[in-house]
């Protein structure tokens, strides 16, 4: 009996020591992960600060060439982004899709995407004259001016198309900071990088607000007469309507439509092509004709369908300008996606 008692005590002590070692190992691994995450975040912040310092100092022609080569590397090694882009491209090209054509367009899109980063990194250092020098042509500024003159604010929409930030930059420069330009964006990680980007945009007269808390801010800004810069081709909240887009169902954001309809503000779309010489051709379209029937859901859906038609018009002509590496169509989205975190809706009062 004594031997049995001793054996049980031994096993109990052994199990206790094993649990303690397991807890210690888990704690050590957690500490290692935290240290690794800290190191990675620090490297990202350092890299971003370095890019922001370096990009304005590069000769413009060399800078675009260098970032295009980085785009070539991204095309080769970012297999997930490449696959997603070509899924989107199948819908755009339809019967004209071939692997050779898709690879050529995808590579060009990666190059354009990295060129946009070059413009992002140096944007804060561009003077008004340099911003205008980036523009090969601008059509439709009168539509923006007329919309602003109504005094109701402007819901501006743009796709991830060409150098899509240029419309926002042009608006800020054109208005000489007389009107607020507010853009909701996904919160970047680490937080320090997001703060740097906010400071960069702020220097250009553009206010960035985190998309996860943007609802009430956008309402307040629009009521005060601000110009909002809203995405029209990607719905990270997955709350927009599913509409026909290039002949197949796709969920598109309705924020710009809801704000414009609910608060009787004009909804203006802008599209910007990056030319071969890296200058930009900007087209600001006339305000969309919106239905205001009293049924907000029905009216906003009709508006999104009109937005989708305008995107089809531009993307079909210049597919390499559409720089979106996330799946857009319902058929291409994984059925195992985890539900997104609840975000503030722009329809909130």
Q: What CA–CA distance (Å, rounded) separates 144 from 162?
A: 20
Q: Are 263 and 228 in contact (CB under 8 A)?
A: no
Give the pLDDT confidence of 293-349 residue by residue, as tens digits: 889 999 999 999 999 999 999 999 999 999 999 999 999 986 434 444 444 444 433
**Biggest CA-to-CA distance, the chain:** 98
The CA-based angle 35-38-40, given to 5 degrees, is 110
**CA of 118: how far to CAs of 5, 60, 173, 269, 281, in Å?**
73, 9, 19, 24, 18
Bridge partner residues of 150 (DSSP): none
The CA-based angle 114-69-109, given to 5 degrees, is 45
pLDDT classification of 34: cutoffs 50, 70, 90: low
Q: What is the pLDDT of residue 347?
A: 41
- In angstroms and rounded to an integer, the radius of gyration of the C-alpha atoms of the chain is 25
Rounded to the nearest 10°, the torsion over CA 326, 332, 335, 337 is: 0
pLDDT classification of 126: cutoffs 50, 70, 90: confident
Q: What CA–CA distance (Å, rounded) separates 214 from 204?
A: 20
Strand pairing class (206-210; 181-185):
parallel
pLDDT of 270 > 70? The answer is: yes
Q: What is the pLDDT of residue 116?
A: 94
172 or 101, which is more confident? Answer: 101
Lowest mean pLDDT among 173-177, 184-188, 202-206, 304-308: 173-177
User: Per this entry, what is the length of the chain?
Assistant: 349
Question: Which residue matches tokens 């999104």?
Answer: 304
Q: What CA–CA distance (Å, rounded) separates 167 from 123?
A: 13
What are the CB-based long-range contacts (under 8 Å, 24+) for 290-293?
A: 290/257, 290/260, 290/261, 291/261, 292/261, 292/264
Give the pLDDT confidence of 146-181 residue by residue, as tens digits: 999 999 999 999 999 999 777 677 777 777 667 788
Burial of 89 (0-12, 13-18, 19+ CB in 10 A): buried
The distance from CA 183 to its chain's CA centroid, rounded to whole angstroms, is 10
* DSSP line for 269-336: EEEEEEPTTS-EEEEEPPPP----SS-HHHHHHHHHHHHHHHHHHHHHH-GGGB---S--BGGGS-TT
134 or 70, which is more confident? Answer: 70
Q: What is the pLDDT of residue 338?
A: 45
224 or 346, which is more confident? Answer: 224
Lowest mean pLDDT among 83-87, 212-216, 250-254, 301-305: 212-216
pLDDT of 267 > 90? The answer is: yes
Q: Are 140 and 283 in contact (CB under 8 A)?
A: yes
The mean pLDDT of 38-61, rounded to a whole number, is 91
């Amino acid at each position: 009996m004594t031997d049995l008692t001793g054996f049980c005590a031994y096993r109990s002590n052994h199990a206790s020591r094993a649990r303690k070692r397991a807890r210690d190992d888990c704690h050590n691994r957690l500490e290692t992960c935290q240290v690794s995450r800290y190191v990675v975040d620090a490297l990202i912040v350092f890299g971003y600060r370095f890019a922001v310092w370096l990009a304005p100092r590069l000769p413009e022609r060399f800078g675009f060439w260098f970032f295009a080569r980085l785009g070539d590397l991204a095309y080769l090694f970012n297999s997930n982004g490449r696959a997603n882009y070509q899924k989107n491209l199948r819908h755009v090209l339809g019967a004209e899709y071939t692997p050779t054509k898709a690879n050529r367009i995808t590579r060009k899109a990666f190059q354009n995407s990295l060129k946009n980063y070059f413009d992002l990194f140096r944007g804060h250092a561009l003077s008004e004259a340099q911003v205008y020098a980036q523009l090969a042509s601008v059509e439709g500024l009168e539509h923006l001016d007329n919309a602003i003159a109504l005094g109701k604010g402007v819901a501006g929409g743009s796709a991830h198309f060409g150098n899509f930030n240029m419309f926002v930059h042009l608006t800020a420069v054109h208005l000489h900071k007389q009107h607020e330009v507010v853009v909701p964006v996904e919160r970047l990680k680490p937080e320090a990088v997001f703060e740097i980007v906010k400071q960069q945009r702020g220097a250009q007269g553009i206010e960035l607000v985190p998309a996860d808390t943007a609802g009430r801010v956008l309402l307040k800004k629009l009521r005060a007469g601000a110009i909002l810069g809203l995405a029209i081709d990607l719905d990270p909240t997955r709350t927009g309507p599913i509409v026909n887009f290039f002949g197949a169902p796709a969920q598109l954001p309705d924020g710009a439509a809801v704000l414009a309809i609910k608060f009787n503000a004009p909804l203006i779309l802008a599209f910007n092509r990056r030319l071969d010489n890296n200058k930009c051709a900007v087209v600001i379209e006339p305000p969309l004709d919106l239905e205001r029937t009293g049924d907000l859901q029905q009216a906003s859906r009709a508006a999104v369908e009109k937005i989708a038609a305008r995107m089809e018009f531009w993307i079909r002509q210049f597919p390499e300008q559409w720089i979106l590496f996330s799946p857009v169509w319902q058929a291409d989205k994984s059925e195992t996606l985890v539900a997104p975190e609840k975000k503030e809706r722009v329809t909130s009062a």
